[in-house]
Amino acid sequence: MAKAYSGAKGKAGSKKPIKKIIPSWTRYGAKEVEMLVLKLNREGQVPSQIGLHLRDVYGIPDVKVLCKKSITQILADKKALNPMPEDLMALIKKLTLIKKHMEENGQDKVALRGMQITESKIQSMIKYYKRTGRLAKDWTYDVNKAKLYV
């Protein structure tokens, strides 16, 4: 799938294996992986970092195949999930950096376009998370108070 607001076709990129089987060389069981996920979350890592850490350090190829649940589902079951979704937080951080840049460089039209695109992505993501129930229906996003979320 192509990225939003780009002319690229988006066909390249790594793909997960089609077969959803647990490899025979995996050392860890489902309970051990859940404990590792909780431990890494307590250390302050977000779900995407946890997945990378488990893959690189512990040799766990896919948590969802092993535990039958994703990392965010494991954290939600244990009531350890951050109320603000990780990808929304990353976009808000990006927007604050662009706004800081725009204060210093007011004539930068490319950065202005990037800021508009980022704000649009944030709004569509908020709509999605409200619809799925991850954010409260009455949760509001204020562009001027974006620094407080970060």
Q: Which residue shows structure tokens 């508009």?
A: 116
Q: What is the DSSP string of 107-148?
A: T-HHHHHHHHHHHHHHHHHHHHHHHHTSS-TT----GGGHHH
Residue 18 lies inside a defined structural domain of this protein: no
Residue 17's CB is within 10 A of a number of other CB atoms, namely 10
Structural domain count, the chain: 2
Range of the domain at 69: 30-77
Please give the pLDDT value at position 129: 96
Say whether both 91 and 112 belong to one domain.
Answer: yes
Reply yes or no on whether the pLDDT at 22 is more than 90.
no
Say whether both 59 and 95 belong to one domain.
Answer: no
Confidence of residue 100 (pLDDT cuts 50, 70, 90): very high
How distant is the alpha carbon of residue 137 from its chain centre? 20
Residue pair 92/150 in contact by the 8 Å Cβ criterion: yes
pLDDT tens per residue, range 68-80: 999 999 999 999 9
Residue pair 2/10 in contact by the 8 Å Cβ criterion: yes
**10 or 96: whose pLDDT is higher?**
96
Residue pair 66/26 in contact by the 8 Å Cβ criterion: yes
Say whether both 145 and 91 belong to one domain.
Answer: yes
